[in-house]
Structure 1
Amino acid sequence: MGRGKIEIKRIENSSNRQVTYSKRRNGIMKKAKEISVLCDAQVSVIIFASSGKMHEFCTPSTTLVDMLDQYHKLSGKRLWDAKHEHLDNEIHRIKKENDSMQIELRHLKGEDISTLNHKELMVLEEALENGMSVLKSKQMEFVRMIRKHNEMIVEENQNLQFKLRQLHLDGMDENVLETGQGVYDHHHHHHDHNAAVAAAGVADYEAQMPFAFRVQPMQPNLQERF
């Protein structure tokens, strides 16, 4: 059995509508490609989805703008308003200026200058000399900036070295004071120790002496008592 005839009207269900759109869009694009190849026809198709997304196909041997221009000539209908025509003229003007600048750039590089006359060569020479003057000025400015930066670095380095020397000298002064106090304390302690040792030696010597040789306290004359 063949498929039943589908009524052509808006599909209310959004999911079914999206599926049908994708299938029919792909079918239209396929048919456009086939007729372009099989029949050597110039075909252009533009489809906008309800979401605003665009899908297009154009015969590879041409462009959409060319086909629109051809349509305009054959149909006599104006597809461009005054604003679009102004934009189109502006695009052409910018393209011409770009081409002119590309030619001038090649001349400044020393390319394609064989066709220039004497006056054009003089203008080119003057432009190159002005460019060299500006370049040298920028180079000198850059060199001055580098020198100034280096001088600042050297000055900062000298300040740091000075601070380091001051810290080193302050540290040496503290060490000298601490060392002098240590020497004094050591000498004083050594002197006290020697005195203590001497006193102990004398006491020990006296303890070992015979009784007769020991120093006795002074006694009154015994003869005077009798």
Structure 2
Amino acid sequence: MGRGKIEIKKIENNTNRQVTYSKRRNGIFKKAHELSVLCDAKVSLIMFSNTGKFHEYISPSTTTKKMYDMYQTTLGFDLWSSHYERMKETMTKLKDTNNKLRREIRQRVLGEDLDGLDLNDLTILEQQMQDSLTVVRERKYHVIKTQTDTCRKRVKNLEQRNGNLRLDYDTIHQLEKRYGVVQNEEGFESTVAYSNGVSNIYGFYADIPNGSGYEPHGPHLT
């Protein structure tokens, strides 16, 4: 019992259409490869799915470029001529733009190539140079102002740190005058701790010998 004849029309279901495309594409590529091997033919196949995905088969004995060249030679026309002409036009426009910019640089920076300019052109050139000078001057002032503000912030920060260090130094100096050295030869000790730039006395003892050993005496400050 043979299969029923399939009606040749667009498959509406997306999934079925993609599956059919994949199977038949592989079948065509297989037939092309067999034709290339059995008959020593040069075969080139190019496919694009409805989603724009590209697939290609080319005989192992040739390349895509060689196939294009053979196609052009057989038909007697050049596929690249129109594209080459567009590239030449684009290159010409870029060269003209480059020459114009180079001329403007010579006129504005070096004062050269001014022979072909009339009074009106020279006036326009002078105004353009004045506008450019204004832009450069504004940019320069902006950079100087930014650097000056940064330096002022650094100086203010250093002054603040210097003031905090001076305050800590004065506090330590007053404590040394009042309680003496932190550790001396007679065993007097005072513990000084600092928190957020403020000095605090946490302990101050004098060890005095008695009959059974050493007994702490003196003020205990917290």
TM bucket (normalised to shorter chain) is 0.3 to 0.5
TM-score of the two chains, using structure 1 as the length reference: 0.44
Kindly name which structure, 1 or 2, has the bigger radius of gyration based on alpha carbons: 1
Greater share of helix: 1
Higher strand share: 2
TM-score of the two chains, using structure 2 as the length reference: 0.45
